[in-house]
Amino acid sequence: MEKTFIFDRPDPCNAFIKICENITYGEGPLSGIPVGIKDNISTAGIETTCGSEILKGYIPPYNAHVITLLKSAGAAIVGKTNMDEFGMGTTTESSIFGPTKNPVDPTRAPGGSSGGSAAAVGSGLVRMALGTDTGGSVRCPASFCGIVGMKPTYGRVSRYGLIAYANSMEQIGPMAANVRDCALLYSVIAGYDPRDGTSIDKPAPAPVTPVIAGKKIGVPAEYFGEGVDPAVAETVTQAIEKLADLGAEIVPCTMPSMKYALASYYVTSMSEASSNLGRYDGVRYGTAPEMVQPWHEAFSAIRRAGFGEEVRRRILLGSFALSAGYQGKYYAKAQAARRMVRDDFARLFAEVDIIAGPTMPTVAFRLGEAADPLSMYLADILTVPANLAGIPAISVPCGEAHSLPVGLQLMGRHFAEDEILLPPLHTRRDQHDRHHRP
């Protein structure tokens, strides 16, 4: 029997773009649990904008597969969460709905691009939320907001109804205040869907029974190299030592392909974006173009007005990387580098069960601190390898640096989500106590 739910809590972090009215829920493993949904996941009858002017007013006529699964599990979908426009960012500041604030420190960004989902969970507005992760967009905000966020194996969660940015890498992922809730949400959204051509028909994930003792944990030197804040590295090193105390064997290792990973990721994702975002012309949805203008002029005007600067920058860079004379230099080389990253992981996973390192090289940025585009791209260096290889990766809170949360990133073999869903080594409650201590 369906029940109703009213969600009228204040949202000082601007985590939500839209709060649903007339929220209903049914029976199931998530019965009555409030869940926030990133605004690039289609929700039938509920405006879905990707944080972009160009999709303002767009009301999807169908649900994403994950939404159908959540509803079947009884979840109470309370609203759509803020995000960097089309998922292209690391701070959740490029949304047309304004920046989201970090609930741990409102002068800081929550990370991105799923910053609204992370802030909604981190501020206690919802118990769980869905984000999407193309190059770290679930794990980065999880790390910055002191919550848990996982990018599942590519193909594990259906992308049907996820508005595409870079199809070959993105996955919908669960976000929650603790690993148990993250695992519960994951268990509901994972599974085969024939409407996603890359969905893989594997048995449903087994119940999570984290075992640390006896596990071999690889620690690549590159994850603690140049650009990683020493205070963050120290916190993560201590967390890995705790895993050793719990019986894990720590195996120092190297990942030489890391030097190519970021360039490979950005060339690939921008190239895919330049193609995917070609569909936004205002004809079938969004603001209508000027009908009497010539075709190209009308579309250029619509896209100039409807896309923000970062989105247009990535479309242009992607078009450039795919254009005649440059395709071999950039896109083809990026695919060869992607293969090297995948091969590096395969080599390491023959020796170890889990690979560990920091999720992000720094703690949360100050709001408005975002530097030039290349500097912002460099912040993704530790998260993009998992997307290039398609392996699952999770960020769990493991302590603090500069009095801000630090995430420990654990990466596993394809489809071994159950092996990386390990409890956090430092809970948000501890952080809360520290920040609110008299």
Partner 1 sequence: MVSEEDVAHIAVISDVGVDASELKLFTGQFNAIFEYFDILDSVEGGTGEPVGQTNIFREDVVVQSLSQEEVLRNSTDPEDGFIRAPRVI
For residues 257 and 362, which CB has a smaller minimum distance to partner 1 in the complex?
Answer: 257
Question: Does residue 285 sit in helix, strand or coil?
Answer: coil
Q: CB under 8 A: which stretch of 104-112, 179-187, 207-215, 325-333 binds partner 1?
A: 325-333
113 in active site:
yes
**Inter-residue contact 293 to 287 (CB < 8 Å):** no
436 scored as a contact of partner 1 (CB under 8 A): no
- Find the helix or strand (DSSP H, E) in which 151 lies: strand 148-151
* Catalytic, out of 38, 80, 101, 215: 38
Question: Footprint of partner 1 on residues 258-277 (CB under 8 A)?
Answer: 259-260, 262-264, 266-267, 274
Q: Residue 327 or residue 427: which is nearer to partner 1 going by CB?
A: 327
Task: Identify which of residues 187 and 274 has a Cβ nearer to partner 1 in the complex.
Answer: 274
Give dist(CA 304, CA 255) in Å, integer: 41
φ/ψ of residue 326, rounded to 5: -115, -15
Q: Which is nearer to partner 1, 131 or 136 (CB)?
A: 136
CB of 197 to partner 1, least distance (A): 9
Residue 422's nearest CA partner among 247, 228, 282 is 247
Stretch that binds partner 1, among 182-190, 227-235, 256-264, 347-355 (CB under 8 A): 256-264
Instruction: Choose the stretch contacting partner 1; rule: CB under 8 A; options: 96-104, 200-208, 237-245, 315-323.
Output: 315-323
Residue 204 corresponds to which amino acid?
A
Footprint of partner 1 on residues 372-391 (CB under 8 A)?
372-374, 377
In sequence order, the 6+-apart residues with CB closer than 8 A to the CB of 193 are: 65, 158, 160, 199
Instruction: Return the residue of 241, 309, 343, 369 that touches partner 1, per CB under 8 A.
Output: 309
CA 135 to the chain's CA centroid: 7
Task: Measure the CA–CA gap between 322 and 46, rounded to whole angstroms.
Answer: 35
Is residue 172 helix, strand or coil?
strand
| Candidates 42, 52, 95, 113; catalytic one | 113
User: What stretch of H or E contains 405?
Assistant: strand 404-412
Active site residue 329: no
Out of 59, 221, 346, 371, name the contact with partner 1 by CB under 8 A.
Answer: 59
Q: Supply the minimum distance, in Å, between the C-beta of residue 219 and partner 1.
A: 24
Active site residue 38: yes
Least separation, in Å, of the C-beta of 373 and partner 1?
Answer: 6
Instruction: Give residues with Cβ within 8 angstroms of 161, minimum separation 6.
Output: 41, 42, 60, 62, 63, 64, 65, 66, 67
* Burial environment of residue 230 by CB neighbours within 10 A (0 to 12, 13 to 18, 19 or more): exposed
Tell me the per-residue interface mask from 278 to 297 with partner 1, x by CB under 8 A, - otherwise.
Answer: x--xxxxxxxxxxxxxxxx-
Q: Which of 137, 143, 199, 269 is catalytic?
A: 137
25 vs 377 by CB, closer to partner 1? 377
Which residues 6+ apart lie within 8 Å of 382 measured at CB? 136, 223, 228, 357, 358, 359, 360, 361, 409
Residues carrying an active site annotation: 38, 113, 137
User: Which residues in this chain contact partner 1 in the complex, by CB under 8 A?
Assistant: 57-59, 61-62, 259-260, 262-264, 266-267, 274, 278, 281-296, 298-301, 303-305, 307, 309, 312-313, 315-317, 319-321, 323, 328-330, 332-337, 339-340, 372-374, 377
